[in-house]
Amino acid sequence: MPDPQLRPRDPANEIAHDMPTMTETTTAAQAPRAYLIFTGSGPILVLSTYPKLTDARLIAKLRYKGIDKFLAYEVAREAVHGAYPDSYDNVVEDLEGHEDIRVLDFNGHQIMANFALDSLGDPIKFGG
């Protein structure tokens, strides 16, 4: 019998849909954070309910998808919601009560058109 603290994942929105089929449930509701992540193959825009971008569980998911190094910026949730209102609401609902990550956009041209680089804060560097 499955652990009641775990639920099946929705592979349509999940960054690591070919990983094991369960995701962790959080004990407290966390508002997702938005990150613009520059990877070797281009930028992705993600929402995450992990406490920080460098959380070991989140890093494991990124590594599973071949992302070992990245440069990232946290993006204001309001700006992301304004650029992707319907998608944002759907992904937030999907993440509700669970620590996980979802890709909101992987179209680099669209991401760069939606966010000004000078509006981003300090970079988060990972992977030496």
End-to-end distance of the chain based on CA atoms, in angstroms? 42
In a domain, 2, yes or no: no
Closest CA to 119 of 92, 69, 70, 83: 83
- Domain membership of residue 50 (yes or no) is yes
d(CA 24, CA 28): 12
Q: Within a domain: residue 23?
A: no
Task: Note the pLDDT tens digit of each residue in 27-80.
Answer: 445 789 999 999 999 999 999 999 999 999 999 999 999 999 999 999 999 999
Q: How many domains does the chain have?
A: 1
The answer to whether residue 8 is domain-embedded is no
Q: Annotate 99-120 with DSSP letters as a single string.
A: E-EEEEE--HHHHHHHS-GGG-
Whether 49 maps to a domain, the answer reads yes
- What residue has token string 């992990």? 50
Q: Is the pLDDT of residue 25 over 60?
A: no
120 inside domain:
yes
11 in a structural domain: no
pTM greater than 0.75 (yes/no): yes
By residue range, what is the domain housing residue 87? 28-126
The confidence score (pLDDT) of residue 29 equals: 52
